[in-house]
Amino acid sequence: MGVVEKIKEVEEEMARTQKNKATSYHLGLLKAKLARYRQQLLEPQTKSGPAGTGFDVQKSGDARVALIGFPSVGKSTLLSKLTHTQSESAAYEFTTLTAIPGVIEYQGANIQLLDLPGIVEGASQGRGRGRQDIAAAKTADLIVVMLDATKSEEQRRLLEIELDAVGIRLNKTKPDVVFKKKTTGGITFNTTVKLTKTDEKTIRTILAGYKLHNCDVMIREDITTDEFIDVLIDVYNKIDSISLEMVDKLARTPHTVVISCEMDLNLDYLVDRMWEELNMVKIYTKKRGAHPDLTDPVCMRKGATIENVCNSIHRSLAPNFRYALVWVSYLF
Ligand SMILES: Nc1nc2c(ncn2[C@@H]2O[C@H](COP(=O)(O)OP(=O)(O)OP(=O)(O)O)[C@@H](O)[C@H]2O)c(=O)[nH]1
Ligand SMILES: [K+]
Ligand SMILES: [Mg+2]
């Protein structure tokens, strides 16, 4: 049985299983199993072609944002607008066949933007370049899901199905969960509210499914098991071609940004929103007795440790590290 069939089987069993206190542990196990299979689905297949087909783009900069969506929604046009890289765009589908990286310079940070080939229906089951697309998206700190404002709402549902099949959830509010990976120490689990829709055992099972054995988890909201994952923004492009009423309606949808690449509408706002969602902090290093160099920050995601900062400067720094003085300013 292939992985896709196994996933189907588990999903069916989950659908058959009534959700209640007595079954929640069993459902958690199934969920972890699903997570494992999904991960397998994302692992590169050796027989699917020569290595280095353009998807192994080296991570660079301070964070990575992946552009994902159906063909011809304007992903490449956006990359060419926001970065110095030109990615070919055209009116026909599948213009882009590999991952094209560009760099957005913002507030002293370099954000890598990845333009990806269009996703096809069935991508999650290995059709088209979907597998590589999704694998690349999974390496990103933020996924921008791009949609065509001139197309029907159906596209969103179809894309949702593809992304959901690999554990990427579309347009869900980011739950108030703080999650920190560690190298040792096991899992510490804390909640500030009573969990009524999931429980510690289930979440531990899910973490194990993702091979996360050492991390701190702090949950500050009564989440469901499903909400335990992902960060993304939905972007509707081509608003130059729809009615104002329609633009207004789309713009009011939560976690949604409306833009027009062609008419340069709202692109700055999109970058602001990416930055916000990425939760970046700027760290300025300084020498004793000297002012910090405010032109050249080290940019990290919120929650980064001093060790992460050291490693981002130079690999030799952390082993010889003794102490750090840290000043925090909330005035950005
Ligand atoms: N009206 C309008 N057309 C746009 C806009 N942005 C892009 N387009 C057009 O949409 C078509 C597809 O753009 P691409 O950037 O190639 O789209 P893509 O998503 O990269 O497509 P694939 O690489 O084939 O998946 C081109 O003809 C663009 O000129 C926009 O804001 N408004
Ligand atoms: K295209
Ligand atoms: Mg393209």
At 304 the pLDDT is 78
Query: What confidence tens digit (pLDDT) does each residue in 160-193 have?
Result: 777 776 666 655 555 677 878 788 889 999 999 9
Distance CA 165, CA 276 (A): 27
Confidence of residue 73 (pLDDT cuts 50, 70, 90): very high
Give the contacts of 136 (CB within 8 A, at least 6 positions apart): 55, 57, 66, 99, 114, 116
Sheet (strand 256-258) strand order: 100-106, 109-115, 63-69, 142-148, 232-237, 256-258
The ligand placed nearest to the CA atom of residue 237 is: 1
pLDDT at 236 exceeding the cut of 90: yes
Mutate to test the pocket of ligand 1, among 70, 72, 86 (most ligand atoms within 8 A of CB): 72
pLDDT at 326 exceeding the cut of 80: yes
Q: Residue 318: phi, psi to the nearest 5?
A: -60, -45
pLDDT at 150 exceeding the cut of 90: yes
More confident: 215 or 46: 215
pTM, two decimals, is 0.69
Residues 54-81 have a mean pLDDT of: 87
The bridge status of strand 177-181 relative to strand 215-219 is: antiparallel
**Average pLDDT, rounded, for the chain:** 82
For residue 224, the number of C-alpha atoms closer than 13 Å in the C-beta half-sphere is 8
At 114 the pLDDT is 94
Mutate to test the pocket of ligand 1, among 67, 88, 89, 114 (most ligand atoms within 8 A of CB): 89
> What is the sign of the dihedral through the CA atoms of 271, 272, 278 and 283?
positive
Domain ranges of the chain: 3-43+174-228, 57-172+230-278, 282-315
Centroid of ligand 1 to alpha carbon of 60 (angstroms): 26
Give the tokens for residue 248.
């207004």
Indicate whether residue 91 lines ligand 1 (CB < 6 A): yes
- Give the domain 57-172+230-278 fold: Rossmann fold (3.40.50)
